[in-house]
Amino acid sequence: MKRFDYLIVGSGLFGATFAYLARKKGKRCLVIDKRSHIGGNLYCENIKGINVHKYGAHIFHTSNKEVWNFVNSIVEFNRYTNSPVANYKGKVYNLPFNMNTFYQMWGVTTPAEAEIKLEEQRAEAKVTLNGREPQNLEEQAQLLIGKDIYTILIKGYTEKQWGRSCKELPAFIIRRLPIRMTFDNNYFNDKYQGIPIGGYNKLIKGLLENTEIRLNCDFFKERETLTALADKIVYTGAIDEFYDYKFGRLQYRTVSFDTQIKDIPNYQGNAVVNYTEREVPYTRIIEHKHFEMFGTTINECPQTVVSYEYSTEWELGMEPYYPVNDAHNNILAEKYRELAAQETNVIFGGRLAEYKYYDMAPVIEKVFFTIRALEL
């Protein structure tokens, strides 16, 4: 009899949630992580009393009441509402595209006026296409929203995000755009959203309470020894690495951060400000205190912490963030998924193991599904 039922490779949201639910079913779990901390990319670093999202901003949102009740049973979530703004050459616009945006763009004040303006813009794009389907992101975006908003709020940001011209990006990336004919700056349509009170570390610690954890533990350096400890593996790392890059390496976009302490209580007045002009090198600035401090409490902390976010091409040794959704990588990923589907003692889960971009709530939903399928 092996010492553990499950060896869980990675202490991020998938691994931590699996460990929690499996332990509730009486299963013995060992969680390992090659980093020096738990939580994966959810990890927060406390700087000047502020929980800094070390690997980029994470905002929990869902319409699934079961998921919302689950995370709140671990730690209570606050009322943070994601309402980012865009800065283009010093002028600020609300996101997502709504009546505030249309007023800032064109001076229109009613939904009827905004619809007329949008149709004028779309008509221009239709003339340019002359009956053919959009061939790239630029053509698709202008057909959906028109030239003005595309040029000011989409083009530069998207090109920085993906490191290539919008004319080189496939149309399907932007087949849908959120357009609201209301003065509503709430970015998400989900029923529930917020941030754990006290930061995401509290959520992960709660999920991993009473579970054995080994940090600074690289699965691939001790693969044989670690595998021998458990009946099954829950793997949340890169799927191509698991198979020793048998078909080649998958590609990613990555993000780097320049995090700075500012000697003022409030730097930009919002958690997220996107910089949409191409000439500004960073894609956005995150001011972390706004995730957990509201109203007058912002000024109670005399300093603030901001992170300038830069999107770059991923290279070996960098942290992989976003799967590259193109034909080459999709074909390659499917080959690896076919291998994974044949495994009887390995469960692959999460962004890297499935080569799929996930928000947090769907990760938890996937764990729920996996646990139920295992009939633990």
Considering the domain boundaries, does residue 88 fall inside one?
A: no
Residues 268, 125 within the same domain: no
| Final residue belonging to a domain, choices 144, 174, 204 | 174
Q: Which two tokens stand for residue 8?
A: 């869980």
Q: In angstroms, rounded to a whole number, what is the distance separating the alpha carbons of residues 144 and 175?
A: 8
Q: pTM value?
A: 0.93
Considering the domain boundaries, does residue 288 fall inside one?
A: yes
Residues 60, 124 within the same domain: no
In 3D, which of 283, 295, 347 has the Cα closest to residue 321? Answer: 283
Considering the domain boundaries, does residue 185 fall inside one?
A: no
Residues in the chain: 376
Give CA separation, 143 vs 121, 169, 170, 190, 276, in Å. Answer: 8, 15, 14, 26, 19
| Final residue belonging to a domain, choices 174, 206, 237 | 174
Residues 308, 337 within the same domain: no
pLDDT score recorded for residue 317: 86
Residues 256, 223 within the same domain: no
Considering the domain boundaries, does residue 349 fall inside one?
A: yes
pLDDT score recorded for residue 325: 79
pLDDT score recorded for residue 98: 98
pLDDT score recorded for residue 153: 98
Residues 330, 240 within the same domain: yes
Range of the domain at 9: 4-80+192-247+325-374
Q: What is the pLDDT along the chain (376 residues), one digit of tens a residue?
A: 789 999 999 999 999 999 999 999 999 999 999 999 999 999 999 999 999 999 999 999 999 999 999 999 999 999 999 999 999 999 999 999 999 999 999 999 999 999 999 999 999 999 999 999 999 999 999 999 999 999 999 999 999 999 999 999 989 888 878 899 999 999 999 999 999 999 999 999 999 999 999 999 999 999 999 999 999 999 999 999 999 999 999 999 999 999 999 999 999 999 999 999 999 999 999 999 999 999 989 999 999 999 999 999 899 888 999 898 788 999 999 999 999 999 999 999 999 999 999 999 999 999 999 999 998 7
pLDDT score recorded for residue 107: 98
Per DSSP, 83 falls in state -
Q: Which two tokens stand for residue 42?
A: 């959810």
CB 138 within 8 A of CB 110: no
CATH number, domain containing residue 16: 3.40.50.720
pLDDT score recorded for residue 186: 96
Residues 163, 217 within the same domain: no
Active site residues per annotation? 176, 180, 253, 284, 309, 357, 359
Considering the domain boundaries, does residue 320 fall inside one?
A: no
Residues 103, 160 within the same domain: yes
Residues 143, 287 within the same domain: no
Residues 256, 241 within the same domain: no
| Final residue belonging to a domain, choices 313, 340, 361 | 313
Considering the domain boundaries, does residue 17 fall inside one?
A: yes
Instruction: Report the number of distinct structural domains present in the chain.
Output: 3
Give CA separation, 159 vs 53, 148, 310, 314, 373, in Å. Answer: 24, 16, 12, 15, 41
Residues 48, 159 within the same domain: no
Residues 132, 265 within the same domain: no
Give CA separation, 56 vs 72, 154, 308, in Å. Answer: 22, 20, 10
> How many Å is the Cα radius of gyration of the chain?
22
Per DSSP, 253 falls in state E
Considering the domain boundaries, does residue 87 fall inside one?
A: no
Considering the domain boundaries, does residue 346 fall inside one?
A: yes
pLDDT score recorded for residue 177: 83
Considering only the C-alpha atoms of the chain, give the largest distance between any 2 of them, rounded to a whole number of Å: 72
Residues 341, 226 within the same domain: yes
In 3D, which of 43, 325, 361 has the Cα closest to residue 161? Answer: 325
